[in-house]
Chain A
Amino acid sequence: MTVSVHRRTLAQLAAGLRAKEFSSVELTRFFLDRIEASQSKLNAFISVTKEQAMAAAELADRDLAASRGGALAGVPIAHKDLFCTAGVKTTCGSRMLDNFVSPYDATVVAKLKAAGAVMLGKTNMDEFAMGSSNETSYHGPVRNPWNPELVPGGSSGGSAAAVAARLTPLATATDTGGSIRQPAALCGVTGFKPTYGRVSRYGMVAFASSLDQGGTITATAEDAALVMREMAGFDPNDSTSVDKPVPDYVASLGTPLAGLKIGLLKEFFDKGLDPESERCIRAALAVYEKLGAQLREVSLPYLPLSVPAYYVVAPAECSSNLARFDGVRFGHRCKDPRDLMDLYKRSRGEGFGAEVKRRIMTGTYVLSAGYYDAYYLKAQKVRQLITADFTRAFGEVDVLMGPTTPTAAFAIGSKTSDPITMYLNDIYTIGANLAGLPAMSIPCGFALGSGQGLPVGLQIVGPHFSEAKLLNVAHLYQRETDWHTRVPERYS
C-alpha cells in the first residue's frame, strides 16, 4: 500500500479495495494511525473505535475476497457524534450525554454499515450542533487543518477537519442552519445537505426538527453521490421522511451543463462579503460560463430576514427537543438532588453549556404565553415568504449560486463574546434550511491577503429533490478545477 493512499477519493479507495490493491484491514489501520497522529493537533474526534473498526474491516475483507459486499465494502468512514451508534458513545459534544451509549443505530449509520463501510470513530462537533465554530464542544474546540489558530467552522467542525486532513474519506454531518456547508467551506472540502426529508433523521439527536438534515462531507461531489445513493431513502421510523424513489446519483454525473441557468443571489454579493472570497466566487462562475451555463442575477428580497427568522424557529424547536434531558432516563444527573425540581434544574444547568442554555432560554421565551404570536408565528410567516422567494427564483433558473460564508476561517476565540456576530456566519446558508432545499458547498479557491491562503466555498442551492442535478453541477466544476484536491501541507 502506497503512503499517499489518503490522497485518493472515496470512489478510488472503494475501487482499490475491489481490485485487491490493498485490504480493508490495511486501509483501516492506515487511517486509524493518521487519526491518532493528528488528534493532539486537531481534536477532530471524540471517540476512536479502533477495535470495532478492525473487526469490521476483517469482515469486509472476507466479503471482498468473495466478491460480495455493498458499494462501500471495506471503506473507512467517520460519523458525526450526534448519529446514534449502538454500543458506542454518542455525546453530541455535550457533558449531558458524555456517558450515553445508544441502544440502537441511527438509520444513516445502519445504512452505511449495510453498504459495507467501516466506522473509524465519532467526530467532534459544537454542543448539540449549536455553533458555527466548533468552540461550544464539551470536548474542546477542533482546529482548522489549514491553520491551527483558526476555527474549522461548525457545527460539523470535526467532520470537516477530518476530511480536510484526510483522516477519513467520508464523515457524515448534519445541517440545521449551515452546519455541513459552512465548515466544509472553511476547511476546503465538499459538503452536501440534501432536501429536508431525503435522509432519515431517525437516530440523529434532534436540535430543530423542521430544519435538521443529515448529509456528507467528502473530498469530491462524486464521493458525495456515491454515499448519498446508500444513505438516502424512505424510513418509516422518521415521520418526516419522504417516500420517493432514490435516483442513481452516480449515473447522472457527467451530464453536460450547456444551457444550465444559474441564478446569482444578489443579496449574497453584498457589502458583508469579503473581497477575496468574492474574487474566488466570480472566478468559479466564469468556469461555469465556459462550461456553457448562463448566469443571471436574481433577487430574493426576503432572504435577508432568514437569520432573524431562524433565531426564533430554531431555538423554539431546540427548547422543546431538549426538554427530554431531565436527568431521569438518560444523560447527566446532578449529585444529591433535594427534590424533583432541584434534580431537573441542576442536572440541566450542569449538563448543558452556555450556548445551549442561551438557545433553550431564547426558545422558551418566544414560545411563552403572550409572546408566541409576536415571535414564533411571525417567524413562521416570514419563513413562508422566504420559501416563496426561492420558488419564484426556481421558476427562472435551474440552480442558485453564491458564497457559502462571508469570510474565510476566523481566529479561535475571536467571535465567542458576541453571539449575534457568531450567528451571522450562517447568513448565506440558513435560507436553504428554512425552505427545506438541497444545498452544497464546494472548494473554489483560496482567499489570500494575510499570509497563507484560506479555502473559500462556492454554495450551490437547488429546488426540492434536485440532488442529482446539484451533484452533477458540482462534479463538472471539479473536473475542470483542482481546488478539491488541495490538502494542507502538514497532512499532504
Chain B
Amino acid sequence: MALTREQIENIAHLARLELQPTEVPVYQTSLSAILDFVGELDRADTASVSPMAHPLPGLSQRLRPDVITEEDHHELYQENAPQVAAGLYLVPKVIE
C-alpha cells in the first residue's frame, strides 16, 4: 500500500506535527512499508475472536472512590511551563 504525499501531510496534520518538505517522502516510503508489513495480520482468521481489552486475563481497570485526593501543586507544576502569568498557561490568542 503506497501512501500519497497528501495522505502523509494529512496524517501529520492530525498528529499536530510540522514536517519539513524533505521529511515527507521519507515518511511516505517508511509508513507505506510499515502498513504493508502489518498487513500480515490478515493471515489470521479472527472472525470469532474478541479483541484483547487487558493484558491480564479476567482483569479490568480498577475504579477508586470518587473523592478528592490531590493537593494543589500548580505552582510547582508550572515551573516546567514555557510561559506562565498569574498562574495561567500562556498561548497565542485563540479567540479573535
B3 smallest CB distance to A (angstroms): 8
> Judging by beta carbons under 8 Å apart, are A328 and B91 in contact?
yes
If over half of A's interface residues share one DSSP class (helix, strand or loop), that class is named, otherwise mixed; here it is helix
Known: A242-B59, A348-B17, A361-B15. A384 touches B81 (CB 8 A): no
> Judging by beta carbons under 8 Å apart, are B50 and A309 in contact?
no
> Judging by beta carbons under 8 Å apart, are A419 and B34 in contact?
yes
| Contact digits for B70-96, partner A, Cβ 8 Å, 1 yes 0 no | 000100110111110000010111100
> Judging by beta carbons under 8 Å apart, are B73 and A103 in contact?
yes
B25 smallest CB distance to A (angstroms): 13
> Judging by beta carbons under 8 Å apart, are A312 and B77 in contact?
no
A16 at the interface (CB under 8 A from B): no
B44 at the interface (CB under 8 A from A): yes
**Of residues 56 to 80 in B, which have CB atoms within 8 Å of A's CB atoms?**
56-57, 59, 61-62, 64, 73, 76-77, 79-80
A466 at the interface (CB under 8 A from B): no
> Judging by beta carbons under 8 Å apart, are A242 and B56 in contact?
yes
Q: Which residues of A contact B93 (CB under 8 A)?
A: 339
> Judging by beta carbons under 8 Å apart, are B38 and A329 in contact?
no
Bound Cα distance A380, B41 (Å):
10
> Judging by beta carbons under 8 Å apart, are B91 and A343 in contact?
yes
Known: A240-B61, A380-B51. A368 touches B11 (CB 8 A): yes
Bound Cα distance A377, B44 (Å):
13
Bound Cα distance A435, B26 (Å):
33
Pick the contact of A311: B38, B46, B62, B64 (CB < 8 A): B38
> Judging by beta carbons under 8 Å apart, are A375 and B38 in contact?
yes
> Judging by beta carbons under 8 Å apart, are A345 and B55 in contact?
no
| Contact digits for B1-25, partner A, Cβ 8 Å, 1 yes 0 no | 0000000100111111111100100
> Judging by beta carbons under 8 Å apart, are A305 and B27 in contact?
no
Q: Which residues of B contact A311 (CB under 8 A)?
A: 34, 37-38
Known: A103-B80, A361-B17. 16 other contacts (CB 8 A): A101-B80, A210-B55, A308-B38, A308-B39, A311-B34, A328-B91, A330-B77, A331-B82, A358-B31, A365-B31, A378-B46, A381-B44, A382-B49, A391-B57, A419-B30, A434-B55
Point out residues on B near A: beta carbons under 8 Å.
8, 11-20, 23, 26-27, 30-31, 33-35, 37-44, 46, 49-57, 59, 61-62, 64, 73, 76-77, 79-83, 89, 91-94
Point out residues on A near B: beta carbons under 8 Å.
99-101, 103, 195-197, 210-211, 236, 239-240, 242-243, 302, 305, 307-309, 311-312, 319, 323, 326-331, 333, 337-346, 348-350, 352, 354, 357-358, 360-362, 364-366, 368, 375, 377-385, 387, 391, 418-420, 423, 434-436, 464
